[in-house]
A and B are shown apart, each in its own frame.
Chain A
Amino acid sequence: MIWGVLQFPGSCDERDALHACKVVGGEARLIWHEDRDLGGVGGVVVPGGFSYGDYLRPGAIARFSPAMEAVAELAAAGGPVLGICNGFQVLCEAGLLPGALLRNEELRFICKQADLIPLPRTSDVDGPKTQAGVEFSAHQHEGATLSIPIKHGEGRYYAPDDVLDELEAKGQVAYRYAAGHNPNGSVRDIAGVRNERGNVVGLMPHPEHAVDPLTGSTDGRKVFEALEGFAG
């Protein structure tokens, strides 16, 4: 699958995401924020960083970019979209994912390795179509944890209780921090969520920084692979 990685002014991790997409087996290219056309990519990564300097609110300006209109269309068509850190914030601001990211509980930027628990989707409507996706679902059911770094100042996931109840009921909580690993005070230890269909996933941890054994773990590959099944 060909991944497209969005690039906004102020993006930081777009080259890392590009590299990660290539490592997990796909082709990948950068997509400039002003491009209304995604150029036929199968899936999109909205990368980490500080798009527009986090001015106003993280993600609040980037969501209005022409490329994000195209991403919304891809998401509506069931194509895979992965938002990482600032990209997660952008997807929440764009209304493609529920909830919001607030300042870390301790009001400091924090960078460290964290253990994540991947959670399964409850229904398999539009489910993973590839072998990797199927294996990932199986892996999710085993409850194995993933070691993936986090680095952010505004990563405290928040949504009202009734929304959270619904997310949990529908299997929309995609990743939780393992016990003792919640770095920011996220409600119900939520590290990442998915849309109802499951093709749009956002998470604060950085799977693109966990694809090379030399620089840490390789567990991040599974986060990318899990979405490949949604490619058309």
Chain B
Amino acid sequence: MAEPVEELERRIERLRSAVRHAVTTGDRATARTLRAELRRAEDAWEEALDDLADQAPAAPLPPRQRAVPGLLPLREQVHTALSLLSVPAAPRLVVQVHHAFFGEDVPSAKLTSLRRDEERSFRSAPFARPYYLCAALTADRLAPARGLLAVSTWPLEHRIVGPLSPRVDFLTAAVRVAEHAERLSKVDGGVARLLWMFGANIPGAASGIGTAAPAAVIRAARAELDSHTGVDRSHRTAAAARARAHLDDVGQLFGTQLRAVRSRTGT
């Protein structure tokens, strides 16, 4: 049975003066027992304090400082960030975007196995989930592109990565991030850093050292996109047509692997 904290505090006070009295009168045996009792009382006080802390209503933390894993499952966090970007993205960018816009840390170490888990899930029960986190496919060999995550509900063309696609996807992501930032009432540190990361690497997007206005990023990214999209789209369409013609559902979502021919032509 736990004593109320106030009662404990009064008892600790009494014990302290008793210990002091015993020490000054030279009664060592009493002092030792009293000290042990004092320690027990202090421990009980610490415990009672912890209980109080648990019962108290949690003060809402400002969202930016809440660097804790979110309540959503990992795949939904990734899906949210990817949907915002609308292009295949590396885990690092997914983490950055999610942190900047939703204030939650995605545990990046778990992202490495995510695609494999999703593939296993899809193979055991195809299309059982509304979406899967899948691979982007390389345009030349329709193999899974290294280190990119995509969403299965996107058109196949969006998930193809040709030679120009890394740049096109980067610029498209920049436009999407900037559009999203424009809708925010206040652009804070995380979003500003993200904007600067995009703006610094697009000609004419940065308005100064460390700052990039959303409107400027959108304008500059669209200007550069104009010179790449035509060729890129033709690559993507051709590769997507090939993928549809030759690959099954699993292949279209998770890519094919190049295998050694020798194993099949052996005698």
Binding partners A and B: no
